[in-house]
Amino acid sequence: MRLIYSALFYCLIPIIVLRMLLRSRIAPAYRQRMAERLGFFKGGRSGDTRPAIWVHAVSVGESLAAAPLIEDLLASYPGHRLVVTTTTPTGSERVKALFGDRVFHVYSPWDTPGAVKRFLRKTKPELLLIMETELWPNMLHYSRKAGCHIVLANARLSQRSAEGYARFASLTRGMLAQLNIVACQARADGDRFLSLGLQPSQLDVTGSIKFDLELDGELRDAAEKLRQAWGMSQRSIIVAASTHPGEDEQILAAFTRIRQSVDNCLLVIVPRHPERFDAVYQLCIDAGWSVQRRSSGIAPGPGDDIVLGDTMGELLLLLSAATVAVIGGSLVNHGGHNVLEASAWGVPVVTGPYMFNFSEISDLLVSAGAMTRLADPEELADCLTELLASPKRRREMGEAGQQVVADNRGAKKQLLELIDTQISSAT
Q: pLDDT per residue over 5-18, tens digit each?
A: 999 999 999 999 99
Same domain, 200 and 230: no
Yes or no: say if 311 and 295 are a contact pair by the CB < 8 Å rule.
yes
Cα 240 from Cα 342, distance rounded (Å): 11
DSSP state of 133: S
Same domain, 358 and 267: yes
Same domain, 252 and 337: yes
Yes or no: say if 86 and 58 are a contact pair by the CB < 8 Å rule.
yes
pLDDT beyond 90 at 203? yes
In a domain, 271, yes or no: yes
Cα 407 from Cα 399, distance rounded (Å): 12
Same domain, 131 and 87: yes
pLDDT, one tens digit per residue, over 209-264 is 999 998 999 999 999 999 999 999 899 999 999 999 999 999 999 999 999 999 89
- 159 CB-near residues (< 8 Å, 6+ apart): 192, 356
Chain mean pLDDT for the chain = 94
SS3 content of the chain, % helix, strand, coil (to 5): 55, 15, 30
Q: Look at residue 263 in the predicted model and tell me its pLDDT.
A: 86
Nearest CA among 132, 253, 124 for reference residue 184: 132
Q: Which helix (H) or strand (E) holds 291?
A: strand 291-293
Tally of domains in the chain: 2
Cα 395 from Cα 109, distance rounded (Å): 47
Same domain, 26 and 77: yes
Same domain, 265 and 197: no
- The catalytic residue positions are 62
Cα 171 from Cα 1, distance rounded (Å): 6
pLDDT beyond 90 at 47? no
pLDDT beyond 90 at 63? no
Same domain, 233 and 144: no
pLDDT beyond 70 at 44? no
Overall pTM surpassing 0.95 (yes/no): no
Q: What is the CA radius of gyration of the chain?
A: 22
Same domain, 190 and 106: yes
DSSP state of 109: P
Question: What domain range includes position 308?
Answer: 217-407
pLDDT beyond 70 at 46? no
pLDDT, one tens digit per residue, over 70-97 is 999 999 999 999 999 999 998 999 999 9
- For residue 56, the cross-strand partners are 85, 130
pLDDT, one tens digit per residue, over 365-376 is 999 999 999 999
CATH number at residue 154: 3.40.50.11720
Same domain, 32 and 47: yes
In a domain, 212, yes or no: no
pLDDT, one tens digit per residue, over 282-299 is 999 999 999 999 999 999
